[in-house]
Amino acid sequence: MAFSLRISRLISRSFSSTSLLSRGGSGYLGSGHCKYSTAAATEEEPIKPSVQVEHTQLLIDGKFVDAASGKTFPTLDPRTGEVIANVAEGKSEDVDRAVAAARKAFDHGPWPKMTAYERQRILLRIADLVEKHNDEIAALETWDNGKPYEQSSKIEIPMLVRLIRYYAGWADKIHGLTVPADGPYHVQTLHEPIGVAGQIIPWNFPLLMFGWKVGPALACGNTIVIKTAEQTPLSALYVAQLFHEAGLPPGVLNVVSGFGPTAGAALASHMEVDKLAFTGSTDTGKVVLELAAKSNLKPVTLELGGKSPFIVCEDADVDQAVELAHFALFFNQGQCCCAGSRTFVHESVYDEFVEKAKARALKRVVGDPFKGGIEQGPQIDSEQFEKILRYIRSGVENGATLETGGDRLGNKGFYIQPTVFSNVKDGMPIAKEEIFGPVQTILKFKDLGEVVQRANNSRYGLAAGIFTQNIDTANSLTRALRVGTVWTNCFDTFDAAIPFGGYKMSGQGREKGEYSLKNYLQVKAVVTSLKNPAWL
Amino acid sequence: MAGVSNGHDGSSFKMPSIKFTKLFINGQFVHSISGKEFETIDPRTEEVITKVAEGAKEDIDVAVKAARVAFDYGPWPRMPGAERGRIMMKWAELIEQHVEEIAALDAINAGKLYHILKGGEIPGAARTIRYYAGAADKIHGEVLKAGREFHAYTLMEPIGVVGLIIPWNFPSIMFVGKVAPALAAGCTIVLKPAEQTPLSALFYAHLAKQAGIPDGVLNVVPGFGSTAGAAICSHMDIDKVSFTGSTEVGREVMRAAANSNLKPVSLELGGKSPLLVFDDADVDTAAQIALLGVIFNKGEICVAGSRVFVQEGIYDEFEKKLVEKAKAWVVGDPFDPKVQQGPQVNKKQFEKILSYIEHGKREGATLLTGGKRIGNKGYYIEPTIFSNVKEDMQVVQDEIFGPVMVLKKFKTIEEAITSANNTKYGLASGIVTKNLDIANTVSRSIRAGIVWINCYFAFGDDIPYGGYKMSGFGRDFGLEALHKYLQVKSVVTPIYNSPWL
């Protein structure tokens, strides 16, 4: 109990507004840490992670194997751009092997045939084992991704454990219905596992995305081929090995590292894959959906991009609003699909808000993510790094006011200064497109009707934040915003039970919670004619 | 009757010392206020196992106060469901580590078969706790269609302090079947185990504390129905009572609830459950199901299939096989792994069963086999089958709660359904047939809370069961049971300019 209390406290410290705010934003500033403007943190030698890279091969049918081609690709340390390890590069042929293993495990293996209680027990053992290796896994995650180690070790890996336990508890509670009929029929629905699930996950939360995908799929009795992001292949291989140690039968979970156009496309267009779940960019999501349509019409779940509004109403306590808006955007180096990347502020508090948002960004502690007290590490890779800097330049060119930041930090690795723009207009690219970096754009609004209209004027619809104490304002905005999640006076609250997903071009389907089970179940209606039924 | 062996003959098991004999209140084992104790008896030998503190009204008051404080101010209902689930998971693990010790307690206290307890019931108790642990973070209310410009939703709130009263026939399964869903819901508990079988409940309470269930959340008060039980039912500070026991006592429970604070009650009471065997059945399988259906746990099971109706085409063959199987049934010391049936729980039950058997004979039913006690020590009774019964006979109408079956012939489905429903009870039922239409028609026609088709006693954590008619109301097990311990609160507030309603 002590342990789980500790975790929940830590999560609430970073994820809930109140405890963040009570620290006035300075809680992370320990002595010896440098603010981004000095850049000193990035000029020191990078801290050596306390973990070895043990697994770099593909995990197929319970065994680590080389790619059929023998090829490998380097995975890089975002702090330096240097190679951490060379990883087997899965391609179409490897995906075929993995799907064959998953197919066999589904069609003939014990996994879907064992009792739900046994599946639950294995998932619980997996959770225990992941929990036991929390720190090594977190180190691997931070090394490969660049996110603060404290975030990996105290929030994300415990959240993965929590998620696995949550879905373990679902395994023996998957209910079909008995259904009323218009005549003498007995009708019931069987909720059957859908089969072989293909899953493609991104690099921004490598293991959380892994958990969101495999947790419900396994609880329902499916088998899986998962392709990790080429930027972050390491942690999933480590964790998948633990899944097998805990008793997951071979072939149930296959992990293929590789690139989208080769391995990802092979999975999306595979004729023997019964279901596809993808998290990534909207552009790639379109391709995935098209490949599914062109091949075997497999159902697809998509969790794509966003440009989520964070709306600060006129009654807001500005200090608290600034802190939460800052967290909503800058968390995870701004690399969140649901980042509150359009900060709409009511005109009555706008000036004060901008000034304080700038001050908060200036205080943000950027540096080596393995260092204690660090709030922001490097961006994931040079491509993202360059893209973000391009957007910053476009913001300046389009006449937005650069309040702070705007450049890289140091001269090694992919660090970017926390950046704040004010006077942003709706039509500017920085207000319309997903930047996926530490760039806050602040927009001014006058009344609720206007902000609803502007907030919804986006091709995206993933999430929104509302900051108000007024119940009518909160309720009106909640219903009017066309987004999959509304956070009121909080942001990025990602409990296992809360469904997540997008409206519009932010995707389709929902992950987490009971809703995610639907992604991995077929519904079979069973209708039997009745003779002399006592009632209908 | 093969292998009759009462006494300690079959036991190579080292009896555990009895560690817990006091009341468990607010996280402590305490004496009863009166200082009184009662004897708990080993039904194999009729000897005293130990003395147990006897809780009465004033002890219930203290326990309720502890539960009240734990609910109103304590951490249990206030922690996230996931955390409650983690603690319950830990509890399940501790139970698994003590399976043999707990199994021995139930065996000596209730005369139950040790190997079935060890291999089935006690691990099953851990499994049930895990089931509800996994449900603790999945208690969903709903967001409603208000019909006008209102936003409305339901909150599923823990109901509060619950009083649980459980019987002696399945001390462990009944304990977790009520405690686990109540804990998952966030309630606090005052539980009275049966006076015949208080030992395992106290052990579970001890392990619950070790697992981290906060003080005051689970209180266990051994005692008698007329004192401790009655105090629970009429307590003004208990928000809900769930009772499993006889129909007569169920009536008293409900009356006491009505006379006090109108607390909602759920009752799982007696039964006289029918098993219908149709002409197309495999006779051997059917006879096996029928015998087990009445004889399992010495017939001390509320869902026992104690009325067996067999279609005329296979009746004679069925009767013959059934009697053969009954005669081969092994009665004896429950610690002997070869034994299939132990002693009845106590002298009162033992004598009641024998008097029903005598009454059946006097009423003119044919005694096909059994009918007598075995040996002269312990409460052992032969598996007993009556045929040529009439539906108004007492042995057909009353719950005997022992290894006594009544067997009757029928001609048509309609007749079978009428006979099956000709009872004040409606707890369980069984059908043996290969015919889909018969199975479906009879399933919908029998007025009982569970229908087993080509099986019997197929219980599961996810499978709710409970009674129709005078077998009670409310359901144990499954997510249905969780809802017994939840209040539904609707929350409604106006909304303005909603783009949809």
pLDDT of residue B13: 60
> pLDDT 10s per residue in chain B (501 long)?
333 443 444 445 667 789 999 999 999 999 999 999 999 999 888 899 999 999 999 999 999 999 999 999 999 999 999 999 999 999 999 999 999 999 999 999 998 999 999 999 999 999 999 999 999 999 999 999 887 899 999 999 999 999 999 999 999 999 999 999 999 999 999 999 999 999 999 999 999 999 999 999 999 999 999 999 999 999 999 999 999 999 999 999 999 999 999 999 999 999 999 999 999 999 999 999 999 999 999 999 999 999 999 999 999 999 999 999 999 999 999 889 899 999 999 999 999 999 999 999 999 999 999 999 999 999 999 999 999 999 999 999 999 999 999 999 999 999 999 999 999 999 999 999 999 999 999 999 999 999 999 999 999 999 999 999 999 999 999 999 999 999 999 999 999 988 888
CB contact under 8 A, B440 and A168: no
pLDDT digits (tens, 9 = 90+) for A127-170: 999 999 999 999 999 999 999 999 999 999 999 999 999 999 99
d(CA A533, CA A182): 13
Query: What is the phi/psi pair of residue A476, to 5°?
Result: -60, -50
Q: How many domains does chain B have?
A: 2
Average pLDDT, rounded, for chain A: 92
Closest CA to A11 of A160, A131, A135, A175: A160
End-to-end alpha-carbon separation of chain A, Å? 49
Range of the domain at B60: 23-269+473-488
Closest CA to B247 of B385, B392, B401: B401
In this structure, are residues A234 and A248 in contact, taking their beta carbons and an 8 Å threshold? no
Percent pLDDT > 90 in chain A is 91
Encoded tokens for A252: 């149930």
Q: What is the CATH number of the domain that holds A409?
A: 3.40.309.10
d(CA A264, CA A260): 4
Query: Where does the pLDDT of residue A44 fall: very low under 50, low under 70, confident under 90, or very high at 90 and above?
Result: confident
10 Å Cβ neighbour count for B57?
Answer: 16
CB contact under 8 A, B499 and A479: yes
d(CA A431, CA A425): 7
Q: Residue A166: which of B137, B479, B494 has the nearest Cβ?
A: B137
The residue written with tokens 């296959």 in the block is: A254
ipTM: 0.86
In this structure, are residues B437 and A531 in contact, taking their beta carbons and an 8 Å threshold? yes
Do A316 and A348 sit in the same domain of this protein?
yes
| Residues of chain B contacting residue A166, judged by C-beta atoms under 8 Å apart | 82, 137
| Residues of chain B contacting residue A471, judged by C-beta atoms under 8 Å apart | 493
Q: Where are the alpha helices (DSSP H) in B50-98?
A: 57-72, 81-97
CB contact under 8 A, A1 and B212: yes
d(CA B228, CA B165): 10
Is B494 contained in some domain?
no
Q: How far is CA B189 from CA A306, A362, A448, B63, B200, in A?
A: 47, 53, 49, 9, 17
Query: Reduced to 3 states, what is the DSSP secondary structure of residue A299?
Result: coil
| Residues of chain A contacting residue B444, judged by C-beta atoms under 8 Å apart | 186, 530, 533-535
The residue written with tokens 């003119």 in the block is: B364
**Nearest Cα residue in chain A from B135:** A169
Interface test with A, best of B129, B138, B213 (most A CBs within 10 A): B138
User: What residues of chain A have any CB closer than 8 angstroms to a CB in chain B?
Assistant: 1, 4-5, 8, 117, 120, 124, 162, 165-166, 168-173, 175, 186, 449, 471-472, 475-476, 479-480, 496-497, 514, 528, 530-535
Characterize the bridge pairing of strands A196-200 and B23-25.
unpaired
User: Which residues make Cβ contacts (< 8 Å) with residue B351, sequence separation at least 6?
Assistant: none
Q: Residue A479: which of B89, B461, B498 has the nearest Cβ?
A: B498
In this structure, are residues B122 and B207 in contact, taking their beta carbons and an 8 Å threshold? no
d(CA A396, CA A308): 21
Characterize the bridge pairing of strands A185-193 and A521-529.
antiparallel
* Angle (CA) A84 A89 A94, round 5°: 150
Is A521 contained in some domain?
no
CB contact under 8 A, A5 and B83: yes
pLDDT digits (tens, 9 = 90+) for A496-511: 999 999 999 999 999 9
Last residue of a domain, one of A267, A286, A304: A304
| Packing angle of the helix pair A347-363, A318-330 (nearest 10 deg) | 60
Is B303 contained in some domain?
yes
Is B99 contained in some domain?
yes
In this structure, are residues A466 and A487 in contact, taking their beta carbons and an 8 Å threshold? yes
Characterize the bridge pairing of strands B143-144 and B150-158.
antiparallel
pLDDT of residue A25: 35
- B 151-180 residues with CB < 8 A to A: 151
Do A273 and A332 sit in the same domain of this protein?
no
Compute the count of residue pairs across chains A and B with CB atoms less than 8 Å apart: 96
B246 Cβ under 8 Å from any chain A Cβ: no
Is A405 contained in some domain?
yes
CB contact under 8 A, B137 and A497: yes
Q: How many domains does chain A have?
A: 2
CB contact under 8 A, B440 and A533: yes
CB contact under 8 A, A1 and B86: yes
Do B263 and B250 sit in the same domain of this protein?
yes
Do B455 and B366 sit in the same domain of this protein?
yes
Query: Where does the pLDDT of residue A24 fall: very low under 50, low under 70, confident under 90, or very high at 90 and above?
Result: very low
Do A299 and A316 sit in the same domain of this protein?
no
B461 Cβ under 8 Å from any chain A Cβ: yes
Is B413 contained in some domain?
yes
Q: Which helix (H) or strand (E) holds A331?
A: none
Do A287 and A314 sit in the same domain of this protein?
no
**Nearest Cα residue in chain A from B129:** A169
**DSSP result, B325-366:** HHHH--BB-TTSTT-SB---SSHHHHHHHHHHHHHHHHHT-E
Interface test with B, best of A122, A164, A450, A479 (most B CBs within 10 A): A479
CB contact under 8 A, B493 and A497: no
Is A381 a residue whose pLDDT tops 80? yes
Answer yes or no: B480 catalytic. no
**Nearest Cα residue in chain B from A453:** B499
Distance of CA A511 to the CA centre of its chain: 10
CB neighbour class for B215 (10 Å; exposed up to 12, middle 13-18, buried from 19) = middle
In this structure, are residues A466 and A314 in contact, taking their beta carbons and an 8 Å threshold? no
Going through B233-272 in order, the beta strands assigned E by DSSP cover 240-244, 265-268
Catalytic residue among B54, B121, B268, B300: B268
User: Which residues make Cβ contacts (< 8 Å) with residue B460, sequence separation at least 6?
Assistant: B477
Do B263 and B279 sit in the same domain of this protein?
no
Do A146 and A211 sit in the same domain of this protein?
yes
Q: What is the CATH number of the domain that holds B168?
A: 3.40.605.10
Catalytic residue among A89, A131, A230, A303: A303
In this structure, are residues B419 and B389 in contact, taking their beta carbons and an 8 Å threshold? no
Amino acid, res. B295: I
* Angle (CA) B376 B381 B387, round 5°: 140
Query: Reduced to 3 states, what is the DSSP secondary structure of residue A376?
Result: strand
Kindly report the three-state secondary structure assignment for every residue of A402-426.
EEECCCECCCCCCCECCEEEECCCC
d(CA A488, CA A328): 12
CB contact under 8 A, B83 and A1: yes
Range of the domain at A314: 309-495
Distance of CA A58 to the CA centre of its chain: 23
Distance of CA B352 to the CA centre of its chain: 20
Q: Where are the alpha helices (DSSP H) in B422-484?
A: 436-445, 478-484
pLDDT of residue A28: 35
Last residue of a domain, one of A245, A275, A304: A304
* Shortest Cα distance, chain A CAs vs residue B296, angstroms: 24
d(CA B245, CA B255): 15
d(CA A239, CA A263): 20
* Shortest Cα distance, chain A CAs vs residue B212, angstroms: 7
Q: Residue B131: which of A162, A172, A535 has the nearest Cβ?
A: A172
CB contact under 8 A, B462 and A476: no
Q: What is the CATH number of the domain that holds B399?
A: 3.40.309.10
**DSSP result, A49-107:** PS------SEEETTEEE--TT--EEEEEETTTTEEEEEEE-B-HHHHHHHHHHHHHHHH
| Residues of chain B contacting residue A171, judged by C-beta atoms under 8 Å apart | 134
